[in-house]
Amino acid sequence: MTYQFSDFISDDALARVNGKSGLHSRLPRVAYTDPGFQRLEYERWLDKTWLFVGRGAAMPNPGDRITVPGHPYILVRNASGAINCFQNACRHRGVRLMDGGCQSGKTIVCPYHHWTYDLDGRLLGAPHFGGYNVQDAPGFDKADRGLKPVRCAQWHDWIFINVDGKAPPIEEFVAPLAAKFPGVAFDKADHYLTIDLGQVDANWKIATENNAEPYHVPFVHKDTAAGQPLDGHYMVDDGPVLGCAVDVPGSTYTNKPGDNSLTNLDMSARYLLRTPNFFLTSYAPDKIIDSLILPDRRDPTKCWIQTAWYSTSGHPLTEREVETWRDLEQRVADEDSSIMAAAQDGLLCDVMDDGGALSPAWEACLIAFYRELTTALRK
């Protein structure tokens, strides 16, 4: 079945999203709950562009592989260090090859009947397929039975896939976002921390909204972000790049050897999304943070969230410094996770069919997000 945008969003609802009567609204609740709408998101947008799906730091050595959270794909670092993406299905009877975590080894072995693949997806062996101790069989050619590749690219440590294979080069995709971080030494980005929230009880767009807007910060992160006052924030809306930023006068925070004085995010920051899902945050002067927010392909009321921290100072953090960051950021992440689940629960109420009302001061970046989304889905 092929869906159209108008199957889910009426002209009246779209007019509210577009602010035709003054205030802008979110999308109506069907956009956060309906599997058909999520399928439309993939067909019209997420499969046609670059989707941020993982990090090289999570699979540092040849032979390492990880799954893409919520998606039927695996990422594999091959013998020469390049990263491949494959559909997570054995070519015999389709069994899932991996289920989370990081595995390692020179070959990928299906757990069911031990068909074995190399790190570039070629089928090496199909034990007893043609008979006891016989692999060959009439019409069976191993060259035709390799893992199905998905277009994959890496920009610094960040890994992206493009399912339809037609998106422009990754450098072109990332360029508008990179331009918003002048002076950030991406080539020095050294991973030091990942916080994995796993599956979260919220649609991926609720998590995206929460990451982009500052309106909730003084309430949800009253203590953990006490040093980032709401009135220091401003909106960013520049085509496919949107979000917010905050300037904290005198902000010069940087880790010093042995420093564990970090108690809240009292520093200037930029929280920017390159749509659809590549979030980068800079904390002045030498930290860069990504947020990996992925839909759950099985359930539109869930998503998967990880966040990773990188230092660009050229100096590794001490264990004590890392633990200081972990303690603070885990608290921030838990605060966000709880409020996102509450936002999803509110969608059980039909009053949210009208999409609510967005603050023109603090949620203009969300208006920009819906503009990007609705433009893509209506094509």
Q: Which of 193, 216, 195, 196 is nearest to 340 (CA)?
A: 216
Which is closer to ligand FES, CB of 88 or CB of 374? 88
Which is closer to ligand FES, CB of 74 or CB of 110? 110
Which is closer to ligand FES, CB of 114 or CB of 298? 114
Distance CA 159, CA 147 (A): 19
Restricting to residues 74-133, name those near ligand FES by CB under 6 A.
90, 92-93, 95, 110, 112-115
Which is closer to ligand FES, CB of 92 or CB of 326? 92
Q: Which of 279, 277, 286 is nearest to 310 (CA)?
A: 286
Measured from the CB of residue 108, what is the shortest distance to ligand FES in angstroms? 10
What one-character-per-residue DSSP string does 309-355 give? EEE-SSSPPPHHHHHHHHHHHHHHHHHHHHHHHHHHHGGGSGGGGG-
Site string (6-45) toward ligand FES, x via CB under 6 A:
----------------------------------------
Measured from the CB of residue 133, what is the shortest distance to ligand FES in angstroms? 16
Restricting to residues 50-79, name those near ligand FES by CB under 6 A.
none
Measured from the CB of residue 111, what is the shortest distance to ligand FES in angstroms? 7
Which is closer to ligand FES, CB of 93 or CB of 378? 93
Total interface residues for ligand FES by CB under 6 A: 9
Which is closer to ligand FES, CB of 115 or CB of 204? 115
Restricting to residues 145-164, name those near ligand FES by CB under 6 A.
none
Name residue 154's amino acid: Q
Contact (CB, 8 A) for 364 and 244: no
Q: What angle do CA 244, 230, 224 make, to 5 degrees?
A: 95
Measured from the CB of residue 73, what is the shortest distance to ligand FES in angstroms? 17
Which is closer to ligand FES, CB of 113 or CB of 371? 113
Distance CA 170, CA 155 (A): 7
C-alpha distances in angstroms, 186 versus 96, 172, 293, 325? 35, 16, 21, 20
Measured from the CB of residue 163, what is the shortest distance to ligand FES in angstroms? 23
Measured from the CB of residue 102, what is the shortest distance to ligand FES in angstroms? 21
Q: Which of 358, 375, 162, 148 is nearest to 277 (CA)?
A: 162
Q: What angle do CA 244, 249, 251 make, to 5 degrees?
A: 85
Which is closer to ligand FES, CB of 81 or CB of 127? 127
Measured from the CB of residue 116, what is the shortest distance to ligand FES in angstroms? 9
Restricting to residues 241-260, name those near ligand FES by CB under 6 A.
none
Measured from the CB of residue 110, what is the shortest distance to ligand FES in angstroms? 3
Q: Which of 377, 345, 308 is nearest to 46 (CA)?
A: 377
C-alpha distances in angstroms, 260 versus 225, 315, 321? 16, 16, 6
Distance CA 159, CA 59 (A): 11
Positions in the binding site for ligand FES (CB under 6 A): 90, 92-93, 95, 110, 112-115
